[in-house]
Amino acid sequence: MAERRDLPGMPSTTLVKKVTSVLREFLGCRVAGKDAQWTQLKECWHAAWEWAWECEKRDSLWRSHKRRHWPSPNEIASQYIMLCLARMKTYSAFKLPYSAGKVLPGRAAKILGEAQQIEDHRAMLRTGAEVPNDTVIE
């Protein structure tokens, strides 16, 4: 199995391709190649893989008799996006227009509402509260 030796934990090239595919599908973005110059995004990319590697090592302690189990491509992509947003916030680049809270188009409100509904549903499940029957999560 081919491995990416430039990333922490040396993940398989298949896993790296799946993560980049998730990012391309949802964000339409490409991650800088291994020969690209060091940038904020590349630092976040390496940090996401280091984070995923730490998760893999922790999980492998519990499953020492089984083969390696990395987080899913969606989870690693989510870690990368979260690190990018945190980096933007650190450099005061993560801003919405002043009137964004007052003017919210229907499509954006729908997406934000669905995200909140899913979080509310998960919170109910975590706390053991009764989930209403009319709650439909797709």
pLDDT digits (tens, 9 = 90+) for 26-54: 888 888 776 666 788 888 899 999 999 98
* Closest alpha carbon to 43 in 87, 78, 109: 87
Over the stretch 50-84, which tens digit does the pLDDT of each residue have?
999 988 887 666 555 556 678 999 999 999 999 98
- Kindly list the distances between the CA atom of residue 2 and the CA atoms of 11, 54, 63, 68, in Å, as whole numbers in the listed order: 9, 20, 23, 15
How many Cβ atoms are within 10 Å of 15's Cβ, its own excluded? 22
At residue 77, the pLDDT reads: 94
Is the distance from CB of 4 to CB of 34 less than 8 angstroms? yes
